[in-house]
Chain A
Amino acid sequence: MRKYLGPLSKDNPILVQILGVCSALAVTAQLKPAVVMTLSVMVVCAVANLVISLIRNTIPPRIRIIVQLLVVSTLVIVVDQVLQAVVYDVSKMLSVFVGLIITNCIIMGRLEAFALSHKPIPSFIDGLMNGAGYGLVLVIVAFFRELLGSGTLWNYPVIPSAFYEAGYMNNGLMILPPMALILVGTLVWIQNSKKINAK
């Protein structure tokens, strides 16, 4: 079981492998899109791992990347269509970034490194946990960006109006992508210092 928990901390796809950073910067201005993005990536990563693992012995190695892309892009389009039908406002906020899950290196990476050589159930769990590791970072970053940038959490105002009357202002920089990069960088720093201390 321990090895499956790796993606949440010491093998985190964003913080340690530095994958999927682009979308992590783009969808974390608020919590809600970050959580929806997390769920989307978890679903795509887990199901793609499962499917590829199920057909792994029939895939000709010469075209395995094409087969992987086909499976991943099919899943992403399905997820995108479902989001548009069920949570239309969030799907508008995520705009192109749902489509760009196709190119998320975390997913292709897990297919190559894990699903092609493991049984379906472990592959499914591995995909789920890697999606969760990605999502964990998204949620942490989105929490700080929404709280400090908009004064809300999940669109509910959490900073009392007395603060604003006393001169407190939301930090507009938090909403812009550079601040997401700085926050992700800070998390990478914390992660690395933990690793060094453990040695």
Chain B
Amino acid sequence: MKEFSNRYIFLYITLLVVVTAVLLTGVHIGLKPRQEANQQIEKAQQILRAAGYGDVEKTVAAEKFSSVATRTERNGHEAYTIQCADGTEGTVIRVNGKGLWGPIWGYVVLADDQATIKGIVFSHKSETPGLGDKITQDKFTSSFIGKKIVDKNGNFVSVRVLQKGKENNIAEENRVDAISGATLTSKGVDAMLRNCLNEK
């Protein structure tokens, strides 16, 4: 076997690292615009779905979104004012939280009374398939529609995600059923909504 000097080894690996670093930087910069466009489209699709527009095609989602929504802020966080599918005006609030395995996030559309949920969508990074990832499904998200984030006296309570029969002091209009088999993900959604919907 051929002998290699230490000098050769150091030079060799340094050169290789420089070459690969330059290559990767090039690829990253070259593809970045398309990756960001993809993320924007996904976000537009999600918000439009929450606002009652159904599934909007990828190709038109960004355009449609900019025609109905305008960027605002709510307590310094990302929010939008949106013309909903039924003609009313709604407020879109971005929510961020922790699931069981990784981050979860979503968009809540509030009606113009700032208290009633018109629509909601959730996304997750890595919740358990078949259990925690059910938070993205219509069956779960549609249970939020019409719920209120304030109680009868106007105090903030959020929409709690609770097991059926637990904590009965919380009114029906302020709670939805948690997903069975996904207790921790459900708790994550609960905490996320409580933290992010609160005005204060």
Contacts of A95 in B (CB 8 A): 125-126
Closest residue on chain B to residue A84 by CB atoms: B35
CA–CA, A66 to B130, complex, Å? 39
Contacts of A61 in B (CB 8 A): 1, 4
Contacts of B59 in A (CB 8 A): none
How near does chain A come to B63, taking the closest CB pair, in angstroms?
A: 18
Q: Known: A60-B12, A63-B9, A74-B23. Is A85-B35 also a contact (CB below 8 A)?
A: yes
Interface residue? A78 (CB, 8 A)? yes
CA–CA, A89 to B129, complex, Å? 15
How near does chain A come to B103, taking the closest CB pair, in angstroms?
A: 12
What total of A-B pairs shows CB separation below 8 Å? 59
How near does chain B come to A100, taking the closest CB pair, in angstroms?
A: 13
Q: Please tell me if the beta carbons of A70 and B16 are within 8 angstroms of each other in the complex.
A: yes
CA–CA, A85 to B27, complex, Å? 11
Q: Please tell me if the beta carbons of B35 and A70 are within 8 angstroms of each other in the complex.
A: no
Interface residue? B17 (CB, 8 A)? yes
How near does chain B come to A7, taking the closest CB pair, in angstroms?
A: 27
Q: Please tell me if the beta carbons of B4 and A60 are within 8 angstroms of each other in the complex.
A: yes
Q: Please tell me if the beta carbons of A81 and B28 are within 8 angstroms of each other in the complex.
A: yes
Q: Please tell me if the beta carbons of A88 and B42 are within 8 angstroms of each other in the complex.
A: yes
> Chain A at the B interface: mostly helix, strand, loop or mixed?
helix
Contact with B along A6-22 (1 / 0, CB 8 A): 00000000000000000
Closest residue on chain A to residue B5 by CB atoms: A60
How near does chain B come to A161, taking the closest CB pair, in angstroms?
A: 18
Interface residue? A197 (CB, 8 A)? no
Quick one: which of A59, A71, A81 contacts B31, CB cutoff 8 A? A81
Quick one: which of A67, A74, A175 contacts B24, CB cutoff 8 A? A74
Q: Please tell me if the beta carbons of B38 and A85 are within 8 angstroms of each other in the complex.
A: yes
CA–CA, A67 to B31, complex, Å? 26
Q: How large is the interface on A (under 10, 10 to 19, 20 to 34, 35 or more residues)?
A: 20 to 34
Interface residue? B67 (CB, 8 A)? no
Interface residue? A121 (CB, 8 A)? no
Contact with A along B1-35 (1 / 0, CB 8 A): 10010001100110011001001100110010011
Q: Please tell me if the beta carbons of A81 and B35 are within 8 angstroms of each other in the complex.
A: yes
CA–CA, A186 to B9, complex, Å? 47
CA–CA, A89 to B28, complex, Å? 19
CA–CA, A29 to B133, complex, Å? 13
How near does chain B come to A159, taking the closest CB pair, in angstroms?
A: 18
Q: Please tell me if the beta carbons of B130 and A60 are within 8 angstroms of each other in the complex.
A: no
How near does chain A come to B179, taking the closest CB pair, in angstroms?
A: 13
Closest residue on chain B to residue A77 by CB atoms: B24
Contacts of A71 in B (CB 8 A): 20
Quick one: which of A60, A70, A96 contacts B9, CB cutoff 8 A? A60
How near does chain A come to B102, taking the closest CB pair, in angstroms?
A: 9
Interface residue? A35 (CB, 8 A)? no
Interface residue? A190 (CB, 8 A)? no
Closest residue on chain A to residue B123 by CB atoms: A92
> What residues of chain B have their CB less than 8 Å away from a CB belonging to chain A?
1, 4, 8-9, 12-13, 16-17, 20, 23-24, 27-28, 31, 34-35, 38-39, 41-42, 125-126, 129-130
> What residues of chain A have their CB less than 8 Å away from a CB belonging to chain B?
29, 58-63, 66-67, 70-71, 74, 77-78, 81-82, 84-86, 88-89, 95-96, 172, 175-176
Known pairs A62-B4, A74-B24, A78-B24 / 6 extra A-B pairs, C-beta < 8 Å? A59-B12, A63-B13, A78-B27, A89-B42, A172-B130, A175-B130
